[in-house]
C-alpha cells in the first residue's frame, strides 16, 4: 500500500555549488573578561576555551563564534560551512578564479581551505553540519484573550536568550565587488541591495533572507552580529535587559524593510553592535528570490527611532 505523504523540501539545492552556513567567526578584543560579561548579559552562553571565549546559545551545541584577546577589536576571520562533497569543487573553483589559498592561522586546526576576500578579510570554507535554518524560524507573537492580562510582570518576565546566530554584517570599500566575489566564489546569492550602500546575500541551500550583509565603508571590519529570538516581545525585553545591566546605548526597537525583521541593536564595548532579531524573511532551498535594488529610504527601516550618528562608523578603520 502506498502512503501519501506531504511535500518534503530538498535538503540542498540540486546541481548548485555553494556554502550552506556561516559556521563561525573570530573577533579579537582587548579584554576577554569584558567580552564575557557583555555576551552573558546579552543572553548568550559564553565558555572559556583555553585562550579564547566560545560563543554559544543556551541549549545548542554549535559554537557560533569565538573571541580572542588582541590589542584592539578586529574581525580576524569568517568561516563558512559546506557539505563534504562540495569542498573539493569549491577548492577547484578558487584555483580556477586565481584566488590564492593560504595556510590556517597559527594555532588553528582546519579541514578546509583559507583565502582572503577582496578586502583582505580572512575567509575559511570548511566541512561542517548545516547550522543555517532549514525553515523559517517559529515566531510567537500571541495576543491574550478578552478579560485576560497579556503582559507578564516586570519581575516575572524572565531573561532573553537568543536561539541561534542569525547573520553577520561586514564593512567593505566596494559593495559591488564584494557581491561578485561572494557569489562567484562562495555561491551566495543576492537577496536585495540599495545601490552601492548595502547588500544582503543568502545561501542557496535554504537560509534566512541574509546570512551575510555588506555595508559601504573605507575598509573591512565588523558592523554587527545578529542573533535570533522568538518574538517581538523578546526584542523589546532584550533591550531592557541590556539597559538594566548598563548597556543602554543602542538603536531600536524597530522593523527593517529588507529582511522584514524586528530589531534592537546594542552597542558593544568596542563600538560595533549586537542585534536581537525576530521574524526575518526566509528563502527556501527551492525558491528563487527576486532581488531588488532599493532606494535608500526604502532599504533601511520601516519604523523606529532615528539611528545613532555613529551607527555606520567602522571603528576598525577609524
Structure-block grid coordinates of residue 302 = 520601516
Percent of the chain at pLDDT > 70 equals 97
Q: What is the 3-state secondary structure (H, E, C) of 280-304?
A: CCEECCCCCCCCEECCHHHCCEEEC
Q: Which residues contact 8 (CB under 8 A, 6 or more apart)?
A: none
pLDDT of residue 138: 94
235: pLDDT strictly greater than 50: yes
Q: What is the mean pLDDT of residues 271-292?
A: 97
pLDDT category at 169 given cuts 50, 70, 90 is very high
pLDDT of residue 94: 97
pLDDT of residue 158: 86
Percent of the chain at pLDDT > 90 equals 87
Q: What is the mean pLDDT of residues 33-37?
A: 98
Q: What is the mean pLDDT of residues 163-189?
A: 98
Classify domain 21-127 at the CATH topology level: 2,3-Dihydroxybiphenyl 1,2-Dioxygenase; domain 1 (3.10.180)
Sign for the CA dihedral angle at 306, 311, 313, 315 comes to: positive
pLDDT category at 208 given cuts 50, 70, 90 is very high
pLDDT of residue 1: 36
Q: Would you say the CATH fold of 165-303 matches that of 21-127? A: yes
pLDDT category at 107 given cuts 50, 70, 90 is confident
Stretch among 50-59, 103-112, 121-130, 233-242 having the lowest mean pLDDT: 103-112
User: What does pLDDT average to over the chain?
Assistant: 94
Task: Tell whether domain 165-303 is in CATH 3.20.20.70.
Answer: no
pLDDT category at 9 given cuts 50, 70, 90 is low
pLDDT category at 2 given cuts 50, 70, 90 is very low
**Domain range summary for the chain, segments of one domain joined by +:** 21-127, 165-303
Which residue, 50, 25, 237, 42, is CA-closest to 131? Answer: 25
Q: What is the mean pLDDT of residues 157-171?
A: 96
Instruction: Give the chain as a DSSP string.
Output: ----------SS-TT-----EEEEEEEEES-HHHHHHHHHHHT---EEETTEEEE--TT-----EEEEE-SS-EEEEEEEEE-GGGHHHHHHHHHHTTPPPBPPPTT---SSEEEE-TT--EEEEEE----S-SSPPP---PPPPTTS--SPPSTTS------EEEEEEEEES-HHHHHHHHHHTT--EEEEEETTTEEEEE-TTSEES-SEEEEE-SS-EEEEEEEE-S-HHHHHHHHHHHHHTT---EEEEEEESSS--EEEEEE-TTS-EEEEEES--EE-TT-----EE--GGGTSEEE-SPPPTTTT--TTT-
pLDDT of residue 80: 98
pLDDT tens-place string over residues 116-160 = 999 999 999 999 999 999 999 999 988 888 999 888 888 788 899
Amino acid at each position: 500500500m502506498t502512503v501519501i505523504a506531504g511535500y518534503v523540501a530538498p535538503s540542498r539545492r540540486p546541481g548548485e555549488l555553494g556554502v550552506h552556513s556561516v559556521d563561525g567567526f573570530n573577533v579579537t578584543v582587548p579584554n576577554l573578561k569584558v567580552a564575557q560579561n557583555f555576551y552573558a548579559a546579552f543572553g548568550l552562553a559564553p565558555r572559556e576555551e583555553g585562550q579564547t571565549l566560545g560563543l554559544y546559545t543556551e541549549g545548542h551545541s554549535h559554537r557560533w563564534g569565538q573571541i580572542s584577546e588582541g590589542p584592539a577589536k578586529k574581525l580576524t576571520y569568517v568561516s563558512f560551512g559546506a557539505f563534504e562533497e562540495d569542498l573539493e569543487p569549491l577548492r577547484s573553483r578558487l584555483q580556477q578564479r586565481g584566488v590564492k589559498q593560504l595556510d590556517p592561522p597559527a594555532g588553528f586546526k582546519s579541514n578546509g581551505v583559507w583565502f582572503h576576500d577582496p578586502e583582505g578579510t580572512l575567509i575559511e570554507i570548511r566541512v561542517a553540519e548545516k547550522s543555517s535554518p532549514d525553515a523559517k524560524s517559529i515566531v510567537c507573537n500571541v495576543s491574550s484573550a478578552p478579560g485576560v492580562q497579556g503582559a507578564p510582570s516586570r519581575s516575572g518576565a524572565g531573561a532573553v536568550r537568543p536561539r541561534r546566530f542569525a547573520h553577520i554584517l561586514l564593512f567593505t570599500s566596494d559593495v559591488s565587488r564584494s557581491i561578485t566575489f561572494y557569489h562567484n566564489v562562495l555561491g551566495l546569492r543576492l537577496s536585495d541591495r540599495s545601490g552601492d550602500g548595502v547588500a544582503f546575500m543568502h545561501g542557496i541551500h535554504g537560509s534566512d533572507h541574509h546570512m551575510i550583509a555588506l555595508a559601504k565603508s573605507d575598509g573591512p571590519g565588523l558592523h554587527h552580529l545578529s542573533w535570533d529570538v522568538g518574538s517581538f516581545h523578546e526584542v523589546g525585553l532584550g533591550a531592557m535587559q541590556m539597559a538594566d545591566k548598563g548597556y543602554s546605548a543602542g538603536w531600536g526597537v524597530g522593523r527593517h524593510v529588507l529582511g522584514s525583521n524586528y530589531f534592537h541593536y546594542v552597542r558593544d564595548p568596542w563600538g560595533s553592535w549586537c542585534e536581537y532579531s525576530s521574524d526575518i524573511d526566509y528563502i527556501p532551498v527551492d525558491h528563487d528570490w527576486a532581488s531588488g535594488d532599493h532606494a535608500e529610504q526604502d532599504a533601511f527601516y520601516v519604523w523606529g527611532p532615528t539611528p545613532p550618528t555613529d551607527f555606520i562608523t567602522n571603528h576598525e578603520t577609524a
